Amino acid sequence: MAKRTTTRSVQQKPAHRHGKGRCVAILKKLSAYIDDELPGTLCEELRKHLGACPNCEEFVASLRQTVALCQHQPAPALSQAERARMRNDILRAARPR
Amino acid sequence: MKTPAPAKQPTPASRNEARTAASFDTLYRDHVDQMYRFATRLCGEPEVAKDLVQETFLNAYRGYQTFRGDAQVSTWLYAIAARACSRMRRKRKGAPDRELSLEEFIPTSEGEFRLQIPVDGLSPEEALQNKELRQVLDRAIAKLPKKYRMVLVLRDMEGLSAKEVGSVVGLNERAVKSRLHRARLFVRRELSAQGIAASEPSHNGHPFMQGGR
Ligand SMILES: [Zn+2]
């Protein structure tokens, strides 16, 4: 697929001339984009840019992956004993005799 | 947790109290796991998280009369926990409470556009079977400045809507989304900077396993 040509002038080569400013503007909207909150025309425009700009396309994919990982990150659970102990502590603190 | 309340003889109040206790038990039973999960995600360390859960339910117990049915119980509890968390002021490592600017997340070199972690072609569940990845993700979230972590945890981990998050933390939706976006970009950058190799099932001693926490 369209790999950027990295070989020459490695630093600060704008891979796509129309770009940097455009890409930055896009970056600001990516959460709204992946959350499906952009109005239709904007969304369309953004999609078009992504299709033409591998960097932004990769970036949005990586942001999506990041969010998906957060959504699925497992969390530890309390043991039954811990749950009961904490309940007693709370009630004791709430109702000092 | 100390409350030197004046000791009282049994009165109508004690019947009231029994009612409160019964509803407290329901509240606790139905929400303690959720609150512990939330607290763990906010605080990292299990002991701190337990303190936060106790503080939360204690405040909920005391404030039960002020709970109005117009909010969801869980939103109400999240808000109590969020307030307790900012009061607890336990110092955490990393995470100075600074502002995140969008500019700092603009990639400046080629390698920064993709995540340098083994996720391609895997579902999130599959990817997260990699313990090292789970740890790196935890650490990235822990590194977030607190107010950003709060929003990311509520929205992307607890699954609240932006509007609900706003009512928990006292922000409008727009502000929630702005914070959320920065928080996600932060975590994304952490993940892309980490460079985890694909998991080698049997073999241990990752550089990540020593160090912190
Ligand atoms: Zn672009």
Beta-carbon separation of A87 and B32 below 8 A = yes
Q: Are residues B76 and B114 in the same domain?
A: no
pLDDT in tens, A24-47: 899 999 999 999 999 999 999 999
- Which residues from A are below 8 Å from B51, CB to CB? none
Residues B140 and B176 in one domain: yes
Structural domains counted in chain A: 1
Q: How far is B37 from chain A (nearest CA, A)?
A: 6
**pLDDT band for position B201 (cuts 50, 70, 90):** very low
Position A1 in a domain: no
Distances in Å between the Cα of B110 and the Cα atoms of A29, A57, B116 are: 21, 13, 12
- Position A9 in a domain: no
Question: Which whole number is the average pLDDT over B117-131?
Answer: 88
Residue B74 counted as domain residue: yes
Q: Report the range of poorest mean pLDDT among A86-95, B17-26, B122-131, B140-149.
A: B17-26
Count residue pairs from A and B with Cβ separation < 8 A: 127
Is A88 contained in some domain?
A: yes
Residue B6 included in any domain = no
Choose from A70, A71, A91 for mutation: most chain B CBs within 10 A. Answer: A70
Does residue A7 sit within a domain? Answer: no
| Torsion angle of the four alpha carbons A88, A93, A94, B1, in this order, in degrees rounded to the nearest 10 | -130
Q: DSSP H helical segments within B63-172, as ranges?
A: 73-88, 124-127, 131-143, 146-152, 162-169
Whether B181 and B115 share a structural domain = yes
> Within this chain, do residues B86 and B119 fall inside the same structural domain, yes or no?
no
Name the residue with higher pLDDT: B82 or A3.
B82
Residue A16 C-alpha, separation from nearest chain B C-alpha, in angstroms:
13
Distance, in Å, from the CA atom of B158 to the CA atom of B160, rounded to the nearest integer, reads 6
**Which is higher by pLDDT, B20 or B157?**
B157
Query: Phi/psi zone of residue A74: left (φ > 0), alpha (ψ -120 to 50 degrees), beta?
Result: beta
Give which of B17, B128, B151 is closest to A94, Cα–Cα.
B17
Q: Which of A6-20, B6-20, B182-196 is modeled with the greatest confidence?
A: B182-196
Q: Which of B28, B88, B18 is nearest to A89 (CA)?
A: B28
- Chain B residues with CB under 8 Å of A27 CB are 102, 105-106, 185
- Output the domain CATH number for residue B85: 1.10.1740.10
Q: CB contact, 8 Å: B84 with chain A? A: no
The candidate with the shortest Cα–Cα distance to A86, out of B19, B74, B56, is: B56
What span, in angstroms and rounded, lies between the C-alpha atoms of B157 and A70? 6
Please check whether residues B79 and B124 belong to one and the same domain.
no
Is the pLDDT assigned to residue B162 strictly greater than 90? yes
The whole-angstrom separation of Cα B160 and Cα B28 is: 20
* 3-class state of residue A29 by DSSP: coil
Distance CA B168, CA B97 (A): 19
Among A63, A83, A87, the residue with its CB nearest the CB of B188 is A63
Chain A nearest CA to B10, separation (Å): 11
* Mean pLDDT for the stretch of residues B48-66: 90
Question: Other C-beta atoms within 10 Å of B207: how many?
Answer: 8
What is the number of structural domains in chain B?
A: 2
B45 and B110 both lie in a single domain: no
Amino acid of residue A32: A
What's this model's pTM, rounded to 2 decimal places? 0.81
Same-domain pairing of B133 and B115: yes
Q: How far is the CA of A52 from the centre of ligand 1 (A)?
A: 8
Between the two ends of chain A, the Cα-to-Cα distance in Å is 72
| Same domain as B87, residue B59 | yes
pLDDT mean across residues, chain B: 81
Q: To the nearest 10°, the Cα dihedral for B38, B78, B52, B14?
A: -140
Ion ligand 1, residue ranges at CB < 5 A = A 23, 53, 56
In a domain, B206, yes or no: no
Domain extent, residue A46, equals: 20-94
Domain containing B136: what range? 102-192
Among the candidates B74, B92, B110, a domain finishes at B92
Residues B84 and B21 in one domain: yes
